[in-house]
Amino acid sequence: MKKTIVAFAIGFSLFIGSAQAQVAAPPELGSAPNPEHLKLAEKLVTVMELQKTIEQSFNSITKMLPGQASPSAAQKQVIDMIMKELDWKNFKTDYIQLYAEVFTEAEIKGLIKFYESPAGQAFVKKQPELNQKSMMLSQKMMMKIMPKLPGMRR
């Protein structure tokens, strides 16, 4: 059970890192987003299809968890609780706020223009595959690291 939770946490943090990497930029200090800025941020999150990307990534993560071919009742209960808490409606507003705080209105307009373009839509459509392959690569790296952990001393 602990392995399931640890594996999910690692997978989730790797996903969040990759999701944030696609739009990382330094925040503007001391500026609170105005309503128009928030509207633009919401449009960006929508054209990026962030909800779909996150949901698909969570589904991929749960499929990679140890013992998921036949999870125990306790594992299923933990996974179900985590998935319920991580439902898009529970943090959509937080993501909109985050994007509005990190990007200026001009930057968001530029990002919207990109994501509405054919190249931007190709990126959106291929993002789930990219995330899945990225998680598989990260999992492969972790498998190389895991045997070294028990031998380490503090």
Tokens of 120: 């931007």
Enumerate residues 6+ apart whose C-beta is below 8 A from 138: 10, 14
Q: How far apart are CA 61 and CA 48, in angstroms?
A: 20
Q: How far apart are CA 84 and CA 55, in angstroms?
A: 11
Place of tokens 């972790």: 142
Tokens of 121: 């839509």
Q: pLDDT digits over 77-112, tens only?
A: 887 788 788 788 888 999 999 999 999 999 999 999
pLDDT at 26 over 60: no
pLDDT at 14 over 70: no
Helix (H, G, I), strand (E, B) or coil at 34: coil
State the pLDDT at residue 113: 98
pLDDT at 132 over 60: yes
Mean pLDDT of the chain: 78
State the pLDDT at residue 154: 55
